[in-house]
Amino acid sequence: MVRLSLQQSGFEVSTATNGLEALDRLRLDVPNVVVLDLEMPVMDGRSFYHEMRANGCDTPVLILSAHDAKRGQRELNAEAFMNKPFDPGDLADVLTTLAGHGLKSKAHTADG
């Protein structure tokens, strides 16, 4: 749903089904913003976030979760958060601001 919502808003979107896959994608192409779910198989969102930062990636991150996204954002010091369920227009607005570009920004999503 996140991918379709962002594509309809004009974003170029790349997705990963778990944190390890997302780290591999970051090695190939660094997005303008990362949408991160905290609950993922193989490598959870918190572990992914720490690995991403340890690898020197300073891409802005929006925590998107049904499990207290605000707490996760504060815990990780991520740039933004949004709780599920969410309004697709609100998500596009926040990502546009985070990316610092227009609606043609690239967004990677990591959501199990």
Q: How many residues does the chain have?
A: 112
pLDDT surpassing 70 at residue 99: yes
CA distance 6 to 13: 7
- Amino acid 107: pLDDT: 47
The pLDDT mean for the chain works out to 86
pLDDT digits 0-9 by tens, 42-52 = 888 999 999 99
Q: How far is CA 71 from CA 5, 88, 95, in A?
A: 24, 21, 19
Instruction: Specify the DSSP class assigned to residue 87.
Output: -
- Amino acid 110: pLDDT: 52
pLDDT digits 0-9 by tens, 58-98 = 999 999 998 889 999 999 999 999 998 988 889 999 999 99
User: Considering the domain 12-85 in this protein, what is its CATH number?
Assistant: 3.40.50.2300
- Amino acid 35: pLDDT: 93
